Structures are given as C-alpha cells and as structure tokens.
Structure 1
C-alpha cells in the first residue's frame, strides 16, 4: 500500500496537522465519530470510523515521513473531532519537511494554522496546552464574571473627593 492509500476505497476523512520538534498534532475533522478503529504504528496511522448523521464510513492509512513512538502518543475523541498527539522518536525529532512519506499532496490533509509553529519560533511561544480558564483562575478570575458583570456597590470611595475645577 502506498502512502495514504485506501484498501477499501472509502473516502479519507478531512484532517489537519501541525508539528513541534518532538511531536505531531493530527486532528481528524469529523463529528459524531462512532466505532473508530485505530492502529498507530511507528511508521503509520490507520484510521477507520463511521461519522456524521448519514453514517458515512471513512478510512485512511497515513505513512509517516519519519518514525513516531506509538507508546508515548495519545489520542482523544471529543465527539466533534478526533485528536492525536504523536510523539516523534528521538532520532526523528526536529521539523519534518512534510507529514507523509510520499511527496504527493494529500487532498484531505491541511495545515492546522491554529497550532502551527515554524522551526525558528521560540519554544516559549508554544501554546498547545493553552487553556483560558486555567489562565484566568491563576490570575484571580475574570473581574465581575461571577456576578453577571454587576458593578460594585456605589458608596463612598477614597477617590470620590472633590476635584479642583479645570482652568
């Protein structure tokens, strides 16, 4: 089977990807995913599932440009998308020129610009674990968010003193 071929001629699901020096982010963009059959190997990912209201079957075999570590990799089905964090093997680390082994452009695979970082971007800018709720809690929460946005009581305040007239 060549890179990204389908043995059963089922449509490939729409996918987006991004990378870091040590990992690949791969998202299958299908909603209502049911009965996923996933096989993650060092050199490939096989994905087959039923999705959508019309129970369409999708299947893809992606052969990777370099090797990943299947044991350290993670996956998560949100119901709206299926996320993979594929950890690159130590000797495969660094930025890959492309995700797939072959040089043929895959019509179903696009760049995930929300997660994409260029090779020369600093590691400090990595935001793959960015969580607004956690950030806001660590900063003391949103001001006024818990009370529906109400303003504090109108009362005497230290800055309510009379100000001199402008001249």
Structure 2
C-alpha cells in the first residue's frame, strides 16, 4: 500500500503554492487537469517507498501556465488558477476538515488584504524615511540638556545610618 506525502499549501489571487514533502524522490509523475485535480506518484523518502497523492482543488486551474520544480527534499508546484479573483475559501472542493497530511504553508501565506497592500505599492518601511522630511528631530543640533553639568561642591561625606 502506498503512503501519502506531507503537503504544504498557500494561495494568492492567481495561484496556489503546493509543496510535496518527499526527499530523494525518484521518477515522480505529476498529472494536473484543467478541472482542478492533481495526481502525484513517486518513490522516495529514507526507505524509498511509493507515495501517492490525489487532490481535487476548490476551483479549476490553468495547467499550461502552472510550473513544477523538483528539489532534493521536496517538489514545489505553482499552480495557476483558471481565473484570478478572490482567495478560495479552502484548497479542496470537499468541505469539512482538511486531511491530516495537508497543512498551511505559513512561510508563503499572505492574506488577501496583504496582497492588496503589496499591489498598491504601499510600504510601511517608507514611513521612516518620511520622518526626515516632516521636520523631525535633527540629530546634529545641540539640545539644552546636552550642556555640561556644574561640578559638585566639595563637602563632608554623608554618614551612613544604621538602625
């Protein structure tokens, strides 16, 4: 019987990122269809066993524009959605709890509103640069509290009290 590889996913408005976590995969076979289905078969892992994965995505995909990259530790897919639009409410067509092997890839995840900000070209780090133009503090000017303090007066040293 085949095993199921661990799989990570994230999405954007126009694509799905899918990472099949299978090291040293030999002869991987990946079939995508326009309906939104993927089938993966490969031999890998430390024991060189057969792994299979079948998923039916929430919506249709564009097979021709999708890309596959084979690495030593995993297989990375960029699967283009048929139509760009709002994020899918879930990865799979079937509702309910996601399968145990399918996890969110938080390294690649972006919320829809984060994507919109990126598209608008708004960058919060540019706010620091704006402080220089808005009459912010000039570090070169001397402040009144930068003046030297007067010397302390010489006098008798305080005597410690014991109780």
Same fold, TM-score > 0.5, yes or no: yes
Match of 1:112 in 2: 105
1:100 aligned onto 2:111: no
**TM alignment of 1:11-90, pairs within 5 A:** 11-42=3-34, 43-90=36-83
Q: CA deviation at 1:56?
A: 1.2
Task: Verify the 8 A CA contact 2:2 2:49 in the aligned structure 1.
Answer: no
- Which ranges of structure 1 fall in alignment gaps of 5 or more residues? 1-8, 127-166
Match of 1:131 in 2: none
Give the secondary structure class of the aligned counterpart of 1:95. Answer: coil
Q: TM-score by structure 1 length?
A: 0.66
Measured against aligned partners, the alpha-carbon deviations of 1:131-154 in whole angstroms (never above 9, x if no partner) come to: xxxxxxxxxxxxxxxxxxxxxxxx
Q: CA deviation at 1:49?
A: 0.3
Measured against aligned partners, the alpha-carbon deviations of 1:6-65 in whole angstroms (never above 9, x if no partner) come to: xxx522110000000000000001110111011011220000100122111110110010
Distance 2:89 2:4 in 1: 22
Give the secondary structure class of the aligned counterpart of 1:102. Answer: coil
Q: TM-score by structure 2 length?
A: 0.68
Task: Verify the 8 A CA contact 2:58 2:94 in the aligned structure 1.
Answer: yes
